[in-house]
Amino acid sequence: MRARILTVLVAAALAAAPGVAYADPHAHQGHDSIRYASIKKCTSKTQTDRPCGDWRLVMHSGKKSVLPDAQGVALDAKGKKLPYSPAPIAVSGNGRRVAYFSKTGRLAVRTLGGGVKLFAENALPRVAQNEVTLLLSDDGGRLAALIGGEKPASTRVFDTATGARLGTVPADRSLLGFSFDGDELLTSVDGDEPVTELAVYTDTGDEVVRVAPPQVVVSNAPQALSADGRTVANVVQGAKPELVLYDLRTDQVTARKKIKLPDADIHMIDWTGDTQVTLHMLSGGDKITIVQIDTETGKVKVRDKYTLLKDTFVFAACGG
């Protein structure tokens, strides 16, 4: 995902560890949470679409609010606006935290019902904001900042409670997402041509495992890492879609389940339970369908559907 800032921004990758009973953090029961963040689309004098205004938060309840302290339009390394680039933003998988650049130029993480944590001014090197991709773990406890551009720098991993940097991941690794517990990061790296490898790092920057998976895994992105730090899930789309599970440690495909999916493109894939994977699917450019897949049976359940605000330029969805 090195610079997965395309027309859509990303959020967190999820998982649940075998043998551990987690309360479902995505049930959104008893409290409201962020469904997605959106920035408005305006048209310039040259009839070119551009982002404008503040980032907006759309909640599961349907309520909307703005982030007045968040940078909307990206700034370059000298602090000048890049009128056609939105500033980066990320929403945690549980929809309780959001990461962004404050209007003072510092990294910030806001907790719903809580405060805002401002990171140190030198948390990141001085680069254009549109060269940075932000990614939160499922619970928002970890933040990864990818730095792309002509001179990519190592990915910084932070503790969002303290703002402390925990570790770094080499610049040539493309970050695919956090594990559910936030302790590991799944990355990809180009090996000997034409081989693509997957590697797992701890949040402190130590490489745990690196392997060249079969094409059924690496050629069907996106991929998600379970909290066990070894099981990768991805989906083969097409006329006969399949859920694929792959063990990084043994270099074996451990399951291929036939599944029935809506007619849409996969935008995000996340582990959301011991035996559950959740897909965010995008169709028509503005319609999101969220489905849950039982990894043991292949049963698919639609959990949520919504349509993006009509004036959306780009959006960042919660993961789970």
Q: For residue range 151-203, what is the model confidence (pLDDT) as tens digits?
A: 999 999 999 999 999 999 999 999 999 998 899 999 999 877 778 999 999 99
Task: Indicate the residue type of 258.
Answer: K
- The tokens describing 84, both together, are 């056609």
Kindly report the average pLDDT of the chain as a whole number: 89
Structural domains of the chain, with CATH: 34-317 (2.120.10)
pLDDT above 80 (res 268):
yes
Gap between the Cα atoms of 208 and 195, Å rounded: 19
At 22-67, the pLDDT tens digits run 334 455 545 799 999 999 999 877 779 999 999 999 999 999 999 9
**197 token code pair:** 């490898």
Q: Distance of CA 33 to CAs 36, 97, 292, Å?
A: 9, 9, 19
pLDDT of residue 31: 77
Q: Does residue 222 sit in helix, strand or coil? A: coil
pTM of the model: 0.89
**Token pair listed for 74:** 């990206």
Within its chain, how far is the Cα of 149 from the centroid? 19
Q: What is the mean pLDDT of residues 265-277?
A: 91
- Beta carbons of 257 and 243 less than 8 angstroms apart: yes
Predicted confidence (pLDDT) at residue 4 exceeds the cutoff of 50: no
Write down the pLDDT at residue 232. 98
pLDDT tens per residue, range 98-156: 999 999 999 999 999 889 999 999 999 999 999 999 999 999 999 999 999 999 999 99
